[in-house]
């Protein structure tokens, strides 16, 4: 966003605005590349077989995430809040995409995979309930990390995880717990700045 002086003349972008502009180009280019890769792959291999519905789902998921990132960057001037929100949105995107593509625990709609979808809804509901405040978002991210761990624990206790999948399931869930926790730490940092 370019700044203007009192009579509306464009002054130019400061360094932070230039970085944001570069990141926007990188982000939207990444979305385009992710959508183009399967289309290109389908020309060369029968193993890549996306339907129109697959492309629509991917476009909505990636485009929606991109638009939410744009909204966060425009609404907040706090870099810790921005980073926490972007990390939370990317985590939600990865959770939704991977669960829709193959499921976290086995294939199909078992109890654990359905709970991962519910976790996405819980994060959205908690974010709205917190009015997207830094403090409330930090709590929502901690709840998401705990929820991720509980769902993994349920999957193991209900024997939904095959023996050869155990380490992979533990690793994937630990990865997501780390992402949620990192987002929580960034939101807490932003909340401390707000309180000061």
Place of tokens 């130019």: 12
Q: Which residue in 167, 187, 160 sits closest to 82, CA to CA? A: 187
Grouping H, G, I as helix, E, B as strand and the rest as coil, residue 159 is coil
SS3 of 82-109: HHHHHHHHHHHHHHHHHHHHCCCCCCCC
Which pTM value belongs to this model?
0.84
Cα angle: 50, vertex 35, 105; to 5 degrees: 60
Torsions phi, psi of 67, nearest 5?
-65, -40
What pLDDT is stored for residue 7 in this prediction?
A: 58
Alpha-carbon distance of 72 to 33, in angstroms, equals 23
> Are 190 and 134 within 8 A, CB to CB?
yes
What pLDDT is stored for residue 130 in this prediction?
A: 92
What pLDDT is stored for residue 120 in this prediction?
A: 95
Alpha-carbon distance of 72 to 164, in angstroms, equals 40
Contacts of 103 (CB under 8 A, 6+ apart): 109, 110, 113
What pLDDT is stored for residue 13 in this prediction?
A: 66
Contacts of 153 (CB under 8 A, 6+ apart): none
10-residue mean pLDDT series, the chain (196 residues): 55 74 90 92 89 92 92 89 95 92 76 90 95 95 97 87 86 96 97 87
What pLDDT is stored for residue 106 in this prediction?
A: 73
């Amino acid at each position: 966003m370019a700044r203007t002086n009192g009579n509306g003349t464009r002054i130019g972008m400061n360094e932070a605005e230039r970085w944001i502009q570069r990141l926007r180009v990188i982000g939207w280019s990444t979305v385009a590349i992710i959508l183009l890769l399967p289309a290109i792959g389908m020309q060369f291999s029968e193993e890549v077989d996306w339907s129109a519905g697959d492309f629509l789902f991917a476009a909505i998921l990636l485009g929606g995430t991109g638009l939410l990132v744009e909204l966060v960057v425009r609404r907040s001037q706090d870099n810790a809040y921005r980073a926490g929100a972007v990390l939370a949105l990317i985590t939600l995107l990865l959770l939704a995409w991977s669960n829709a593509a193959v499921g976290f625990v086995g294939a199909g709609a078992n109890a654990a995979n359905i709970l991962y979808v519910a976790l996405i809804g819980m994060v959205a509901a908690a974010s709205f309930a917190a009015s997207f405040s830094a403090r409330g978002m930090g709590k929502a991210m901690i709840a998401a990390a705990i929820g991720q761990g509980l769902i993994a624990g349920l999957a193991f206790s209900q024997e939904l995880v095959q023996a050869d999948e155990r380490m992979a399931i533990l690793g994937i869930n630990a990865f997501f717990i780390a992402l949620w926790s990192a987002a929580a730490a960034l939101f807490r940092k932003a909340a401390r700045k707000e309180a000061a």
